[in-house]
Amino acid sequence: MSASDVVEEYIAQLSRWGRWGPDDELGAFNFTSAETVRAAVAEVRSGEVISLTLPYDQRGPQPGGFRSNPQLITTATGTDHVAGAQEQLPWGPAKGFGYADDVVVMPLQCGTQWDALSHIFHRGQMWNGYSAAEHSSAGAKRNGIERWCGRMVLRGVLLDIALLRGVAALEPGYAISVADLEAAVQAEGVDVRPGDALLVHTGHLEARRNRWGDYAGGPAPGLSLHTAPWLAEREIAAIATDTWGVEVRPNEVDRFQPLHTVALVHLGIAFGEMFDLSRLAAACRAEGRWSFLLVAEPLPITGAVGSPVAAIAVR
């Protein structure tokens, strides 16, 4: 069977287009509910909060070009205040008052981030069959990241594949299989439930931290295309990894990012990328407990195809 055939075959078997009606823009977040929120909150024991987000700054993983690292721009500074350039405030007497202000220029997928359902297309369509032309220079009229606001209070499960394989980090090109996922579930004694967020720890981010090289676009470990049926069956809402693109690179078949095509475009699953899972993995290993409350709301940037995210695990 040719590469394209495999992808089309999975789509034919698994696609959820239309499952929640012709106007759906939530995708797999239809598996979440007030009940899953309560279950997520019930995972909190100690009150420890672990941030999963890389710093957004010029030392980030991007090499420049297509997606640069975020640029912080100052529009008023403490030095302005100290040097006397703020003595005449436009709004009232200063009398010692000073201020700083700033702007960020940020490619929305430059660091820790969610892909929206408008991020990827297949043969002219995005999630639920909307035309790709619903995304233009004006942004996304359908499936924008803002559709998910209020949905990112999730039960999180960490599957630690690096631990399973007995390595600090999986090698670039390592394709995480269904067998790996099942083995991790068994080893950890954790259950994966509908509406969960699955966090997959490869160790690749830690191996490259601050020596990024081609981290943000090069070869990487990641999920095999052939995990698509398993992901579908588990009815997870979201999957996130400590790599730039969730799925293994180079791709297993002769086309670009086939798992995005199946699992994001046709299953409606949120893809989280460049999540910093090192501290969380260490905490899970130390305690032998692999589930937690994950809060990871995207910014409601209207029509955006992704969003940076201040993701936290609460344990």
Binding to its own copies (CB under 8 A) within 157-216 occurs at none
DSSP letters of 161-209? HHHHHTSSSPPTT-EE-HHHHHHHHHHHT----TT-EEEEE-SHHHHHT
Residue 58 interacting with its own copies (CB under 8 A): yes
Residue 267 interacting with its own copies (CB under 8 A): no
Residue 129 interacting with its own copies (CB under 8 A): no
Q: Say if CB 51 and CB 299 are below 8 A apart.
A: no
The closest of 248, 271, 265, 256 to 122, measured between CA atoms, is 265
Q: Smallest distance from the beta carbon of 262 to its own copies, in angstroms?
A: 11
Name which position in 6, 26, 28, 108 contacts its own copies (CB under 8 A).
108
**Which residue reads 């594949």 in tokens?**
161
Name which position in 21, 22, 91, 211 contacts its own copies (CB under 8 A).
91
Name which position in 15, 30, 109, 291 contacts its own copies (CB under 8 A).
109
Residues 273-302 that bind its own copies (CB under 8 A): 293, 295, 297-302
Please, which residue, 106 or 161, has the CB nearer to its own copies? Answer: 106
Q: How far apart are CA 195 and CA 228, in angstroms?
A: 16
Residue 104 interacting with its own copies (CB under 8 A): yes
The closest of 262, 88, 251 to 172, measured between CA atoms, is 251
Name which position in 61, 221, 272, 306 contacts its own copies (CB under 8 A).
306
Q: Smallest distance from the beta carbon of 4 to its own copies, in angstroms?
A: 6
Max distance between CA atoms of the chain, in angstroms, equals 76
Q: How far apart are CA 75 and CA 34, in angstroms?
A: 42
Q: Smallest distance from the beta carbon of 31 to its own copies, in angstroms?
A: 14
The closest of 155, 152, 150, 147 to 130, measured between CA atoms, is 147
Name which position in 150, 168, 179, 233 contacts its own copies (CB under 8 A).
150
